[in-house]
Chains A and B, each alone.
Chain A
Amino acid sequence: MRIRALVLTALCGSLIAAVGAQAHHAFSAEFDINRPVTLQGAITQMEWINPHAWLHIDVTEEDGTVASWAIELGPPNSLVRRGWSRNSVPVGIVVEVEGHQSIDGGRRANGGSVVLPDGTRLFTGGSSPDDNGDQ
């Protein structure tokens, strides 16, 4: 009986963690639905961390300068459920990111999806309104 309760608690805990990640903050508190961005850049770092994984890319601006952007993604577990793996995002590959810029206009965006060099589109989970849900 105790064992069953423990397993149920562990399962509920992980369920709550998954649902909680989408409820723990509002997208609109940090990002602007009216500032959609499409960025192309080379990956410099992928942080597989909770509660949000972060993808860092170097974007070459129109005037030639290179700017570093931070893209907020969902939690690593959500990414895995959307087809991400450590081999998806090696440093150096050029990806296209669709998302929404932060309210303060800084080089930070909530990522909705990421298109890999071979054309594969990976959705990002988390609080993005463009997300397609667990697969």
Chain B
Amino acid sequence: MPHRKGALAFLILLLLWPLAATGQQPARDIPRMADGRPNLNGIWQTLSTAHWDIEDHPAYAGPMSETGAIGAAPAGRGVVDGGPIPYRPAALEQRDLNFANRRTGDPEARCFMPGVPRANYMPYPFQIVQSDRDILMVYEYATSSRMIHMGEPEESLIDTWMGTNNGRWNGDTLVVEVTGLNGLAWLDRAGNFVSNQARIEERYTPIGNAYLRYEARIEDPTVFTRPWEISLLLYKRVEPDAQLMEFKCVEFAEELLYGDLTKD
């Protein structure tokens, strides 16, 4: 008798075990690498208006009245969690100054590399190339790229546009710690920015076979009063002919950068 009760209890436990499992159920319909990790290979792009302005914003005029409605910012919900960015007062003044000078001051106008996290929500696709070791992200905009080191974290030796990127897996989420940014890139076309003291923690979580949730925690005590987060969706470009095109924009920026140096 006791054995049968024990066996019954064991059987019930076995059937109910999946419900008792703590933590997230792994998504079953996402592509995976041979080692079971999510396969993030593919071309990705956001549909948000974050590249215009990562905060909530109505439509507003562009910096050049000559182009009329072309170059105006569409309305968009912010991607910042919890409302406005928590700037320090002096930094907020700098942001507003950036906005006023954005026609020439925006590093995007000068074809400088977009930095992190802006590169991930530019209005251009980017490609994730995931090997069984490191992960390469290649951006159509200005052929920027960055290597996510997946082994022992590398120290950032110098400040660069795209930073030093160290990645690890946390379940099905790719976590990337970014340091060594040079503080010259902006976060959007509205003048939001970080300094070279910024530490960014990105999280890439597949939520289906063609969607990535992208989150980034931004910490920079010299600019903000506390860390804050952004969150947006990345969509996979699944057209059969999807590919990165060439957008080498230096020639487009030449007049802006060097026009005053020409002889005539």
Contact = CB atoms under 8 A, between A and B. Distances in A.
Q: Are A and B co-members of a single complex? A: yes
Interface of A: 2-3, 6-7, 10, 13, 48, 76, 79-80, 84-86
Interface string B97-132: 000000000000000000000000000000101010
B242 to A, nearest CB: 10
B136 A7 contact: yes
Contacts of B243: 2
Central interface residue in B41, B136, B243, by most chain A CB within 10 Å = B136
B165 interface: no
B138 A6 contact: yes
9 contacts: A7-B129, A10-B145, A48-B159, A48-B160, A79-B158, A80-B158, A86-B157, A86-B158, A86-B159
B136 A76 contact: no
A85 B158 contact: yes
Contacts of B129: 3, 6-7, 10
Contacts of A80: 157-158
A6 B242 CA distance: 14
A10 B136 CA distance: 9
Taking chain B's interface residues, is the majority helix, strand, or loop, or is none over half, making it mixed?
A: loop
A86 B160 CA distance: 11
Nearest to B182: A48
B208 to A, nearest CB: 21
Interface in B169-185: 182
Nearest to B161: A50
A99 to B, nearest CB: 21
Contacts of B136: 7, 10
Contacts of A76: 158, 160
A80 B159 CA distance: 11
A74 B158 CA distance: 14
Contacts of A13: 143
A9 to B, nearest CB: 9
B138 A10 contact: yes
A2 B243 CA distance: 10
B125 to A, nearest CB: 13
B23 to A, nearest CB: 31
B158 A48 contact: yes
Contacts of A85: 157-158
